[in-house]
Amino acid sequence: MENKKVLITGANGLVGNYMVQKCIDRGALVTAVDIHEPHNQVDKYRNGNYQFIKADLREFSNCKEVVKGQDIIFHIAGIKGSPKRAMEQPADYFVPMLQFNTNMMEAARLEDVEWYVYTSTVGVYHPAEVFNEDDVWKSFPSEKDKYAGWAKRLGELQAEVYSVSYDWNNVSIVRPANIYGRHDNFGPESTVIASLIKRLFGEKEHPLVCWGDGSPIRDFIYAGDVADGVIEVYEQRLTQPINLGSGTGVTIKELAETLVKIYEEMYGVKVQIEWDPSKPNGDTKRLMSTERAETFGIKQKVSLKEGLKETIDYYLKEYKK
């Protein structure tokens, strides 16, 4: 990646922030693009190897402009929110993702960039205990993820269409599990890890009340590990879809207990966890197969507890000043 011109979309987001740092560290000339102004964390990279462009990638003309002269495109942009909002306000997710996913890949094809990495999602999978890459097109996305899942699936299909129509085969596809880390969404639409951190460390909800019985198994991956995986698939020029996950999973009960243990270690205060069985559990098990990724040396590096501690530190620094 040394001296390559690299474009990162969604650069202010959960994975994008890590991508900016890791690409600059590898000697890339980074153009960071986002619809919002950058966070302070990237200020230290404001040098000859970094520029930021504020752009709405729903507009094709903006996509054409930002890809000019670029060698590598890391299309990380997405819309993260709670499953509840995704079902109640699906147009907020489906429409813009269709727009910027389609626009960016078309602009990259017209510019004939050296390589393009498309970030998909665990939401493309049908409910199953283990998600295998080759099973996606044998079924439909889960009813709970179908709007965002279909939007991401169509981006994957666009890559296949371009391969058939234009012999344009320089595209990698990654499918991350449930991502957490710095710059997570701690607002009203936060997902499970951010929501628990906010309630436990911010709102001091003691006892901590959690939905269901804590038995469902989920696959969480630290955003920095996702960034490393994205870079790896580029460096190895992998064209098969690749899952990025822990490969082991954790129950929601274990997740809550780990967060409570961190809280107790930090503050010396005991916190009880209460479970509300009247609330839905969700799918019993959602776990990524990491067999394919591991054959290429792509593995989780940061443990759940390490990643949670960093996420908590970020939350306390940025939201509880």
Which pLDDT band, with edges at 50, 70 and 90, does 48 fall under?
A: low
Distance CA 143, CA 178 (A): 17
Instruction: For the chain, give every domain's residue range.
Output: 5-183+221-248+284-301
Residues 6+ apart with CB under 8 A from 120: 152, 153, 155, 156, 173, 174, 175, 176, 241
Average of per-residue pLDDT across 251-269: 96
Query: Could you report the per-residue pLDDT of 153-212, keeping only the tens digit for each?
Result: 999 999 999 999 999 999 999 999 999 999 898 888 788 999 999 999 999 999 999 999
104 touches 56 (CB < 8 A):
no
Distance, in Å, from the CA atom of 290 to the CA atom of 252, rounded to the nearest integer, reads: 20
Q: Radius of gyration of the chain from Cα atoms?
A: 19
Q: Percentage of the chain surpassing pLDDT 90?
A: 79
Nearest residue to 73 via CA among 121, 110, 128, 123: 110
When mean pLDDT is compared across 75-84, 163-172, 210-219, the lowest value belongs to: 75-84
Mean pLDDT of all residues in 283-300: 94
Q: Are strands 72-75 and 208-211 parallel, antiparallel or unpaired?
A: unpaired
Q: What is the pLDDT of residue 82?
A: 65
**42 pLDDT higher than 60:** no
CATH number of 5-183+221-248+284-301: 3.40.50.720
Please, what is the average pLDDT of the chain? 92
Asked if 109 and 83 touch (Cβ cutoff 8 Å), the reply is no
pLDDT of residue 144: 78
Residue with tokens 């890890």: 193
Q: Tokens 């995986």 — which residue?
A: 229
How confident is residue 39, by pLDDT bands cut at 50, 70 and 90? low
Alpha helices in 29-145 (DSSP H): 60-67, 83-88, 91-111
pLDDT score at 321 = 60
Percent of the chain with pLDDT over 70: 95
Residues 86-105 have pLDDT tens digits of: 678 888 889 999 999 999 99
More confident residue, 252 or 284: 252
- pTM here is 0.93
